[in-house]
Amino acid sequence: MERRNHYRALLALQLVPELGLRRIKLLLDKNRKKDATEIFKMNISDILRTDGIGERLAKNIVQFENWKKADEILLQTEKAGAFLVAIDDPHYPTLLRHIYDPPTLLWVKGSKDVLNSDGLAVIGTRRPGKYGSNQAGRWVRKLTDAGLCINSGLAYGIDAIAHREALNAGGKTIAVLGSGIDVIYPAKNSHLVHRMIETGSAVITEFPPGTAPDAVNFPERNRIVSGMSHGVLVVESGIKGGSMITARSALDQNREVFVIPHPLNYPGGEGCNYLIKTGQGKLVQNISDILDEISVQTGDVTDQKAPTAKKWESMELDEDESMICTILQESEMHIDQISEKAGKQVFTLLPLLLNLEMKGAVKQKAGKYFELC
């Protein structure tokens, strides 16, 4: 019952006019609220202490009364056979939690255990040619054999091939919808959804039940596909379209972008070649080109700690540098995780980490992960 009330309050916060996901996260983090119901017990002056929240927004929170709508959404969720995963739940995708504007709630069907699998996004056009289709199947099978979960958007074309080939190879896959969990789009891919649910994979969305697959939803969907993944593999894409949006989103989120090269003068592959040409994506020819660039935890973390893990303690470091080293004593971390623990923006951390690298206290690994020397 306690978690249900928490989910109900998170839904209510999403219904507060003009509040938005970023401010909801700031509210929860700033005020150290593990139960979102506590936010609605705060007074205006307390709420105003949160960055980015002015008097009008504070009043909107304090005066919120549309609890009936939140209850209706909870009922629709149950009727759809789905369940909710909140941003503070252990099953919430760890990498997704660290993007700029993570969803506070995810609607899920299938296995919650798969949500934190090490995954790679495989994306591309809805109308691939023979070359793109073959490449999608080939790469997904290799990635699945390497133990990676395949994340994509359930669309026609490359997305559907990625999900299907992952399932055929006995692997796990996660489909991210641009609609409500009860509105499968495109409907012709419903059979894939059923297979995912039956075999321990999952279908997720940030949109409440009943939400139609409107065009404005898909860029939001794409940031989740890239945000929950270690990287993005662009199989086939024109110079414009959803795949290019996802690739840009991945770069903004400090994710790796991998690209399948295409023959010259083939319009369907212009986007891929453009990403390679402009240095925004890495041309890949074999599976090691991807595995060498992403840090995927394997084995016991304690076995990976070097005996020289406290080398930094004998160095002359300033307060911020010492704080970063203390954080990294836990384990290697992605820069977004360091940012959250240190309470500093990524752009302020980068020069500090560079200084630590130059001093020999820290080293950068593939995929923007850092560890102590």
In a domain, 96, yes or no: no
Q: What is the pLDDT of residue 311?
A: 75
Q: What is the pLDDT of residue 307?
A: 39
Please give the Cα distance from 20 to 153 (Å, whole number).
23
* Same-domain check for residues 285 and 305: no
Q: What is the pLDDT of residue 303?
A: 36
Q: What is the pLDDT of residue 71?
A: 96
pLDDT digits (tens, 9 = 90+) for 346-369: 888 888 898 888 888 888 877 788
Highest mean pLDDT among 34-38, 72-76, 309-313, 333-337: 72-76
Total domain count, the chain: 3
pLDDT reading at 126 higher than 50: yes
pLDDT reading at 34 higher than 80: no
pTM for this model (two decimals): 0.81
In a domain, 244, yes or no: yes
* Same-domain check for residues 287 and 343: no
- Among 226, 258, 291, identify where a domain stops: 291
Task: Please say whether the beta carbons of 257 and 275 come within 8 A.
Answer: yes
Instruction: Write out the residue range of the structural domain in which residue 10 sits.
Output: 2-77
* Same-domain check for residues 248 and 160: yes
pLDDT reading at 300 higher than 60: no
Q: Any idea what the CATH number is for the domain that residue 60 is in?
A: 1.10.150
Q: Lowest-confidence range among 88-92, 138-142, 242-246, 300-304?
A: 300-304
- Three-state SS across 251-266? HHCCCEEEECCCCCCC
* Same-domain check for residues 129 and 220: yes
The DSSP call for residue 58 is: H
pLDDT digits (tens, 9 = 90+) for 307-337: 344 678 878 888 888 889 989 988 888 888 8
* Same-domain check for residues 259 and 283: yes
In a domain, 102, yes or no: no
* Same-domain check for residues 155 and 121: yes
Q: What is the pLDDT of residue 33?
A: 63
